[in-house]
């Protein structure tokens, strides 16, 4: 990954942070982007303290202007863009009767439209480097789940977007893949637990995975690093399931 330039969204915490740290540890130049500019800067500072190469920029995945500005930061810094990792996302629970139109639009805006806007802005640069796009989707994008209709819908759309872009830009040398995690132990889990109340505990969620534990952000970081590497040079349009076995019986 040395001499590679990576932009990661949602990189101030959770899965995005772990992905950014993994790429930096492998020698890449990483742009830490997040809606929370202060936390993004803290992550970049910590990476530099460990000898890595990192800069930070504020980015709202639902705002095309902030995406363009972040890409310009990367180009001004390194002169190129090799991989974008779309790790920004949000969760919201409820049935179609529980989710009001504004909530519906906001989840789709962040989880789905954000992936589209990032790809649209990054693709001209990725064509120059035979680069790649990695979208963080979810096993929720591969199956139905009671009580999480808008989240599942948004992630199903990300899986479809990934496949279509892979076909559209293969001839240009750009690979597009997504990762479908199971339940990862991040602050988002607290949101899920708060929504469902006593019916859900961390232990109960862990038991849903045949390997007997929740995923770690580092599990997804390893998958993202693989998909961006030369070892995955003949992989595009795939949905890489990293879920502790939950989809094995689906």
d(CA 7, CA 82): 8
Phi, psi of 55 (to 5 degrees): -130, 165
- Whether 4 contacts 29, CB under 8 Å: yes
Helix or strand (DSSP H, E) at 32 = strand 29-34
Query: Quick one: 90 exposed, middle or buried, by C-beta within 10 A (0-12, 13-18, 19+)?
Result: middle
Listed in sequence order, the residues at least 6 apart from 100 whose beta carbon sits closer than 8 Å to its beta carbon are none
- Whether 18 contacts 221, CB under 8 Å: yes
Helix or strand (DSSP H, E) at 175 = strand 175-181
Which residue in 23, 92, 151, 225 is the catalytic one? 151
Angle at 141 between CA 140 and CA 145, to 5 degrees: 35
Neighbours of 212 (CB within 10 A): 10
Coil vs helix vs strand at 197? helix
Token pair 């500072």: residue: 45
Query: Which two structure tokens, joined as six digits, stand for 188?
Result: 């988002």
The alpha carbon of residue 86 and the mean position of all alpha carbons in its chain are separated, in whole angstroms, by 4
**Catalytic (active site) residue 116:** no
Instruction: Please identify every residue annotated as catalytic.
Output: 151
């Amino acid at each position: 990954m040395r001499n590679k330039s990576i932009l990661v969204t949602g990189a101030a915490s959770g899965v995005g942070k772990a992905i950014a740290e993994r790429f930096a540890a492998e020698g890449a130049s990483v742009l830490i982007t997040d809606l929370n500019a202060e936390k993004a800067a803290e992550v970049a500072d910590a990476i530099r303290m460990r000898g890595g190469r990192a800069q930070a920029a504020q980015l709202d995945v639902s705002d095309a202007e902030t995406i363009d500005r972040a890409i310009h930061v990367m180009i001004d810094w390194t002169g190129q863009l090799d991989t974008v990792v779309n790790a920004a996302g949000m969760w919201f629970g409820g049935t179609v009767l529980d989710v009001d139109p504004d909530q519906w639009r906001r989840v789709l805006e962040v989880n789905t439209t954000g992936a589209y806007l990032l790809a649209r802005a990054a693709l001209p640069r990725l064509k120059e480097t035979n680069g790649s796009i990695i979208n963080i989707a979810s096993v929720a994008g591969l199956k139905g789940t009671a009580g999480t209709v808008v989240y599942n819908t948004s992630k199903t759309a990300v899986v479809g977007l990934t496949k279509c872009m892979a076909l559209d830009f293969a001839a240009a040398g750009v690979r597009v893949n997504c990762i479908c995690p199971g339940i990862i132990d991040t602050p988002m889990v607290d949101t899920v637990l708060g929504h469902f109340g006593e019916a859900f505990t961390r232990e109960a969620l862990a038991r849903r995975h045949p390997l007997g534990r929740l995923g770690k952000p580092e599990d997804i970081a390893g998958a993202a690093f693989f998909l961006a590497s030369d070892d995955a040079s003949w992989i595009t349009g795939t949905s890489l399931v990293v879920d502790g076995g939950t989809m094995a019986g689906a």
